[in-house]
Each structure stands twice: as C-alpha cells, then as structure tokens.
Structure 1
C-alpha cells in the first residue's frame, strides 16, 4: 500500500466514530429489490420493446436518476417497483403508448463491496468472508501510488433507506493508532483522489459533521 507523503486528512465526515457499526437490519436476499433506493445505486431500467430507453443507470449523490427524454427524477423513498410505475406514468404521458417498464437493482449484491477512487483496481468485489477496510483496499489492488490519499478513506453504509458515513486514516490503522473497521456487504469504500468521479466527490463533501445518519 502506498502511503503518499503529501496525503492529509480533511473534509466534514468524522474519522472513526465510535458508533459506526453494522447495518441496523440484515436484509434477506429475496427482499433486496424492495429496499428504498438511494444515492449511488446502480439500476437496470428495461422499457419493453424500446431498447433506446433501456439501459444501466446510476443514481447520483443527491438521489436523482437522469433518464432519456424525461431528465432527472428523484428516487428518494421509492422502491424499484414504485419507480417503475412512475416511469410508466411519465413516459406514457408524452412519449409512449402504455409503456411496460421494469427497474432492477444491479449493485445490491449482498456479498459485495464497491471500492472507488484512488485505488489501482476500482470496482465491485465479492467479499471472501469477514473483511476489514485494509482487506477491501487489498481487493482493489491497493492505494494508487500517484493519486490515492490513504489518510482520507470513507466508508458509506446504507441502512433502512439512510446512508451513514465515516472516514478512516489507513496510515493510522497500519500503525495501530486507529481500529481497522469491518466491511459489510453493500458498503462503498471511497479513497480520496484528485481524479475522483464527481459523483463520489459530491458525496464526500455533502455529509455534515454532526450527523452520521443523514438522508443524502
């Protein structure tokens, strides 16, 4: 793991808060599609017999989904089924005759973690069992030696339709000065970097210091 000499802590997200625990509720796999949608969810929208409107889309940091023809639509408090019904209504009002639309969550694999930002291999990885933050970074082939900031790594965790976040310092963890937190299925780990996608940079800047449980 590269430990950049110029790396520093920063941002409003609290470091290693004492009450940053596991998700409040364990979600059975057959209920995954009934969870409220939220920021960073990856969705597959299928419009029957209209491939031009079908595709994979990602919810942005503010909880909006930008779709062809109808533009941004908020997914807050909506399940995939609720969203599909609203899309049918919106597309049917102007563009399509009795559209048949389905929405499926593709990034809610309950055995995976998403690692983004300044790592050598960003992506979605299957957890091999109990895994800590250091292990999750290792799955993504370590911190980028040129661009990753090991002192500012944020874990986003979704629970009951809310998102909580906590920052961690990998250098302090390596030195035994900070606990190496357990990573849970569905977590998103973001390593700060200058080339971080705007979607994640918005999230890193949007969480207030005083509230771990904040609807994004």
Structure 2
C-alpha cells in the first residue's frame, strides 16, 4: 500500500513537469538563449519620444520662481507624490509633466497673492529609469535601474524568487533598435557560475516563470502530509 501511495504521488507530482511550448522567434520577437548575449539597448531605445516625462514619487526637481527668488529650490518629491513649498503649500506632483507642475505652482502662488508668478520646473533626476519584474518573485513591481544592474540584483531587489518560481524559465524582454527581443535565462545556472549574470537596462521587463509541479506538491502536502512524507524522503 505504501508503494502504491508513493507511486501515485510521484505520478501526480510529475504531471506538472511536462514541457511547455518554448518561446520562439517570430516576426515581432527575436529570442536568444541564455548562453548568448542579449544585446544592450541604444540611446533611442532608452527614451520614449512619444511619451512625455512624468514626475513621480522620489523624483528630484528644481523649481525656479522668477518673481520670488527666495522660493527657488531643488527638492525631492515625497513617497506619496507631493511637494511642499512656502506660500504655495502642498501640491500633488505625481503624474504631471514639468510644465503642468509649473502651472500648478503658479496657480497656488497666485491664490496666495503673489502677483504674476512665473515658474519653471526641471526634472533633475528621475526614478522613472526603472526595470519591471513580474511573475514568481516575492515582490513584483518597478525597481530603479542603478549602475551595473544585473538580473540577479533585480531579483534580489524584488526580495528573491517565490515558492513557485521556475528557475530555468526567466525571460528578459527588451527593445533593441526598435525590435522586440527576449533573452531566456536559467537562474540556477547563473548561481552556479555556468555563465555571467546578464546586465539589465531601463525599460527591461523581467518575467519569472511558474512551476506547476511545485504547486501540486504543496497542495498534496497541505491536504495529506502523512502521504506526502514518503515522497519528501524520495525527493531528498
């Protein structure tokens, strides 16, 4: 009976191991394997000419008020996307362009009886230079791109792989010379030094795959830990 239970558990656990359709090159996508180098983006790839630069939380901006020089200052947008200035008070900067924020500051100053305020706003530094990580990591989201950012560092920023992550199914999506490209990576192989930790650039999208067999095994353990115990021993 014990052998039957073990065989049954092994068969069910391995049903999730079937290979999924691999990501392949197409007219819209070029796929490179992890042993090859995903080329870096060029300057044009890192900018979006059709998209205005929007101010967001933790961006650093420079505000110049020509009629009131004492109000000129460099400041950081707070984590909620707001700034605070003398006379103008608290203003929501999140999602505004520099020009839109300048107009909002002018309106706030005008309401405080500052005559004909002329304001300019410059974005000094922006955390909009970000990489997106999605899928099976602990904290998916947007993360700032720092100098020499790599795949493993981005995963670490996202608090590491989740319980159901598939280490051999990690994809980096990137635009190079206006062409969409995908690099396929194996995190376990990188950790073992099989090849270098690949560089990551602004606007990259990283997707960590899901491991169905891990989910099935977790479900069996939660439903019947006594039946799962022999399988744990075998897998170890």
Shorter-chain TM-score: which interval? Answer: 0.3 to 0.5
- Determine which structure has more spread, i.e. the larger CA radius of gyration: 2
Q: Which structure has greater helix proportion? A: 2
Larger RCO, structures 1/2 (Cα 8 Å, 6+ apart): 1
After TM superposition, the score normalised by the length of structure 1 is 0.46
